Each structure stands twice: as C-alpha cells, then as structure tokens.
C-alpha cells in the first residue's frame, strides 16, 4: 500500500470519489477554501468598507513572498498576472524576431504556448521549428538536436500536458545558451510537485498558472522573470502596473519596479488569497517527498498494467506527475465514460487517458482505476 503523501481529509471530495485529474482543474484543500471564505465574508463582500486602496495593493505582496520561495528567486522577480497567457501572449512582441530567426516549439505542447506565435503579431515574422514529442524518445534531446545558429528562442512546457513527457530544463537551458538562444518555460504542469528553479534554469521566464498543481483557483498566475525580461516594456500596459496605481495618472505611463509592472488591472483577489495560502500549505511538503511519491505511484501503476493492453507514453525514467495511457483495442470514449460512471476522474487528451498523480493520490486510487481499465482488454 502506497499511502497519500498529504492528509486526504483536507479534500472532502475524496471521501467518495477518485480524483486523478489535478492536471485539469485541481482540488482545493480545506485550509485554502477557508482562507478564501474568510476574505469573502470579512472583507470582499463589504466593498471598500474593509479594503482600503493600500490593502488592495498589499494583497500582491502577500502572494509574491511564497511565490518567490516556490520559484527560488527574489520577490522582485515575481510577476503576478491573471493568467499564464498574460505573459505568454506578449513574448512575440518582446523578442521582435526576424524571418531568418527561429522559434522552437513542441507541436503537441499546450496551445497557450504556440498560439501567440501563430497569430498576426510581430512574432509571426519568425520561422517556427516544430519538434515532435514521440513515444519512448527523449524530448529534451529531440529539442536540442533542432537547435542551430538560427534559433533565438525556445518556448516549452516543463511537463507536457498531454503526454507527461518531462523536459530536462537545465540541460535544455545550457544547450540553448550555447547557440545564443533564450528559453521560456511553462511550468503549469510541474510547479507545486516538481522543483522549479528560475535562476538556475538559465531561463528568461518560468510561468505557471495557479489553479492546477499549486492548489489555487482560476484567475491568478505567477512567474519568475529574469533581469533581461524585467527590462522589457509591457505590451499590455494596465493601470495596476504603475508605481502608485491609485494616483490615477492619466497623462503619464511610468511603470512600477521591477516585475510589478506586469500586473495589468484589478484581479480576482479571492484567488490571490487562495493561492498564497495554497503555496504556504504546499511548502510544508518537500519536493524530494513529492518526487519520490510520484515515482512510487508510477511504478505501481505500470506494474499493475503490465499484463493488460494498456501502456504509457513513456516508461518511468524520470518522475512526471502526468501519465498518459492508451490501449489500441479499447474505445477511449467508452473507457472514459465508464470511469466517470464509477466516480473515477481523469481526462481525455489527444486520444489518450491522462492520469494525474497528485500528493493526495494513493495506491488504492490506482487499484480502482486499473480494475476498470482491465475490463477493456
């Protein structure tokens, strides 16, 4: 028996259902829910009666400190935005590449990464070098093999949302640096369960949504920004990015220092409160423990499926919180519906079942999953 790494009672939903879908919309722990309720009841519902302008600005600082701890950087290097796309969407304008330049993208990566480079912004002038994430192959090496003197930027998900492929970011960062390219990492599918270290990764930015593995709610994202990226001028210059937002200077547009300038406007303060609490809660468990837990669950699942027709996109060589399963003899839609009918929650992504191995998952959850999958051999 592999027990959960955290107290499952913090997640009341788990009393009757199996949740293997943290990579979609994550479960929110009870202390986080209580913190959000407290803010709503004691402050937010009363408008400005109990939330001054100064207190509103201070909410960002309360999140920036635990976010900096997560990202291993100084708080001044943490940008707080409403979503990951707030920054991903500005990249083509900041790098202003030429037709001779190349941006390296993974063709099956999450669309929020690729869409900014496919639309009519300045980034559309750059050529795209597409990389395929193939079963059984080392995605990191595949990307490295595509780098050249034309490569100016690599934008990639640390953990691939559909396949669970894990990118060796330090190795990729070193390879990109050797050809003079910059690196942007989307850590939405890894931050909170794997170690995410912006400064050591030699990345211009490490960007993460807050509502999946981090245990928050939608409406807030956190990012590490390097000195090079902090120097950029926001393309989307919102009023909250001013040095003193509540001075309401209409005729001038100065920016706050340093990463605060990328916050655009009034956000979901309820989500900011929740994410700050979720980060503090999550940091009570070490990355060594979460990584070990993921590895144990992955090995357990692979062993349980060894005599079935189900196989994963990759054999477990590195701990990834996402396992992508397929069976050529099974009707994926029927399997998914049967799982749902039995209160087992996962996702369908690119014709495969996506299983999320969160800290609250135990081997009993996987036993119930396998018992259903075995019916479709």
Strand, helix or coil for residue 324: strand
CA-based torsion, 273, 361, 170, 234: positive or negative:
negative
- Which architecture characterizes domain 8-28+285-376 according to CATH? Alpha-Beta Complex (3.90)
Domain parsing of the chain, residue ranges: 8-28+285-376, 47-282
How far is it, in rounded angstroms, from Cα 7 to Cα 149?
A: 50
Pairing of strands 151-157, 102-106: parallel
3-state SS of 56-68 is: HHHHHHHHHHHHH
Rounded Cα–Cα distance for residues 75 and 82 (Å) = 18
At residue 99, φ and ψ (nearest 5 deg) are -60, -25
The 10s digit of each residue's pLDDT in 137-194 is 999 999 999 999 999 999 999 999 999 999 999 999 999 999 999 999 999 999 999 9
CA 214 to chain CA centroid, Å, is 8
How many Å separate Cα 181 from the centre of its chain?
23
Which H/E stretch holds residue 249? none
Would residue 130 be called left, alpha or beta, if left means φ above 0 and alpha means ψ between -120 and 50 degrees?
beta
pLDDT band at residue 318, thresholds of 50, 70 and 90? confident
Pick from 299, 275, 247: which is nearest to 60 by CA? Answer: 275
pLDDT of res. 377: 76
Over residues 291-308, mean pLDDT = 95
- Tell me how far apart the alpha carbons of residues 116 and 156 are, in angstroms, rounded to a whole number: 13
CATH code at 47-282? 3.40.640.10
In whole angstroms, what is the distance from residue 320 CA to residue 190 CA?
8
H-helix segments, 213-286: 227-230, 269-282
Question: Do the domains at 8-28+285-376 and 47-282 have one common CATH topology?
Answer: no
Span 30-72, pLDDT tens digits: 999 999 999 999 999 999 999 999 999 999 999 999 999 999 9
| Spatial distance between the Cα atoms of 326 and 354, rounded to a whole number of angstroms | 9
% residues pLDDT > 70 (the chain): 98
Average pLDDT, the chain: 95
Rounded to two decimals, the pTM is: 0.95
Q: pLDDT tens digits, residue range 345-370?
A: 999 998 899 999 999 999 999 999 99
Q: 205-209 and 182-186 as β-strands: parallel, antiparallel, unpaired?
A: parallel
User: 98, 125 in Cβ contact below 8 A?
Assistant: yes
Residue 125 has pLDDT above 90, yes or no: no
Q: How many CA atoms lie within 13 A of 137 on its CB side?
A: 12
Which residues face 209 on adjacent strands?
221
Going by pLDDT thresholds of 50, 70 and 90, the confidence category of residue 120 is: low
CB atoms within 10 A of CB 172: 26
Q: In this predicted structure, what is the pLDDT of residue 195?
A: 96
The 10s digit of each residue's pLDDT in 251-276 is 999 999 899 999 999 999 999 999 99
pLDDT of amino acid 124:
62
- Is the pLDDT score of 123 beyond 60? no
């Amino acid at each position: 028996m592999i027990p959960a790494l955290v107290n499952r009672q913090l997640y009341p939903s788990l009393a009757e259902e199996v949740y293997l879908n943290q990579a979609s919309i994550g479960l929110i722990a009870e202390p986080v829910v209580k913190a959000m309720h407290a803010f709503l009841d004691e402050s937010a519902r009363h408008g400005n009666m109990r939330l001054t302008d100064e207190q509103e600005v201070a909410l960002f600082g309360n999140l920036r400190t635990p976010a900096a701890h997560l990202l291993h950087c100084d708080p001044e290097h943490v940008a707080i935005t409403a979503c990951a796309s707030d920054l991903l969407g500005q990249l083509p304008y900041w790098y202003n590449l030429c037709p001779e330049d190349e941006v390296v993208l993974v063709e099956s990566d999450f669309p929020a990464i690729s869409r900014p480079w496919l639309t009519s912004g300045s980034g559309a002038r750059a050529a795209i070098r597409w990389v395929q994430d193939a079963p059984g192959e080392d995605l990191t090496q595949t990307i490295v093999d595509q780098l050249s003197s034309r490569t100016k930027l690599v934008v990639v998900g640390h953990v691939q949302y559909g396949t669970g492929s894990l990118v060796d970011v330090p190795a990729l960062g070193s390879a990109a640096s050797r050809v003079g390219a910059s690196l942007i990492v989307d850590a939405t599918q890894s931050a909170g369960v794997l170690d995410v270290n912006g400064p050591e990764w030699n990345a211009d930015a490490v960007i993460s949504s807050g509502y999946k593995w981090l245990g928050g709610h939608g409406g807030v994202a956190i990012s590490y920004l390097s000195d090079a990226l902090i120097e950029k001028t926001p393309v989307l210059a919102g009023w909250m990015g001013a040095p003193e937002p509540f001075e309401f200077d209409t005729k001038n547009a100065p920016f706050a220092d340093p990463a605060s300038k990328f916050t655009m406007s009034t956000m979901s303060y309820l989500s900011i409160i929740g994410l700050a609490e979720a980060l503090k809660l999550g940091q009570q468990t070490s990355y060594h423990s979460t990584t070990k837990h993921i590895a144990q669950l992955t090995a357990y699942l692979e062993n349980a499926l060894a005599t079935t027709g189900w196989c994963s996109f990759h054999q477990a060589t590195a701990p990834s919180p996402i396992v992508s399963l397929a069976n050529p003899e099974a009707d994926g839609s029927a399997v998914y519906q049967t799982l749902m009918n039995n209160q087992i929650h996962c996702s369908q992504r690119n014709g495969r079942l996506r299983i999320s191995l969160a800290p609250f998952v135990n081997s009993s959850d996987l036993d119930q999953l396998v018992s259903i999958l075995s019916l479709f051999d």
